[in-house]
Amino acid sequence: MTVRTEQKERTRQDILASANRLLRERGIAGASVAEVMKGAGLTVGGFYAHFESKEALVAASLRESLRELWSGLVAAAGKLRGVEAVSFVVRRYLSRSHRDHPCEGCPLPAVVADVAQAGEPVRDALALELGDYADALGECIADDSPASRQRALALIALMYGGLSLSRALKGTPTSEELLKACRDFARQAFTND
């Protein structure tokens, strides 16, 4: 790899890191190309040397940030399986820390509403990452039933919904109740197998 190629890749990663932060904070609509480039310490003029469009940047950012988050959750669960794995993953995802620090966590609460209006590349990126995580989570929870993917997808939806509502109601007692209710519900759902 040449020095120029290495520099271009570092710059691309800086742009992605800035996009990841802004998408988590402001969603797709709130993360303009100008703001992303400013966050990377670059000018807008250089954007198209790295991405063909904002849509391509958003798709790449979603793939990277979701893959990093979800692979980290599964890896942290280690050798836990079944209800213990579910409890561990849900406890980490539906934590006060995750709720209170959206810039470091899951981008879904900030972007999902915008994804419906985004182009096919963004929807495809989200669908791919959700599918991959459902497969990994299904293995982690050691569910050999034919419905394991459905159960993992339902668990992901519970986690995302609980986090989204909890963030929206941060500072209220209901926010805490939501986190606990979703954690308890997930554990009960997988205990009753």
Closest CA to 123 of 26, 67, 58, 50: 58
pLDDT, averaged across the chain: 93
Mean per-residue pLDDT, 74-94 = 93
Mean per-residue pLDDT, 60-73 = 94
CA dihedral 70→76→82→83, nearest 10 degrees, is -90
Contact 115, 126 (CB under 8 A): yes
DSSP string covering 116-132:
TTS-HHHHHHHHHHHHH
Predicted model pTM: 0.89
Mean per-residue pLDDT, 57-85 = 93
Mean per-residue pLDDT, 168-189 = 96
pLDDT tens-digit readout, 110-154? 999 999 889 899 999 999 999 999 999 988 887 667 788 889 999
Model confidence band, residue 172 (pLDDT cutoffs 50, 70, 90)? very high
pLDDT tens-digit readout, 70-83? 999 999 999 999 89
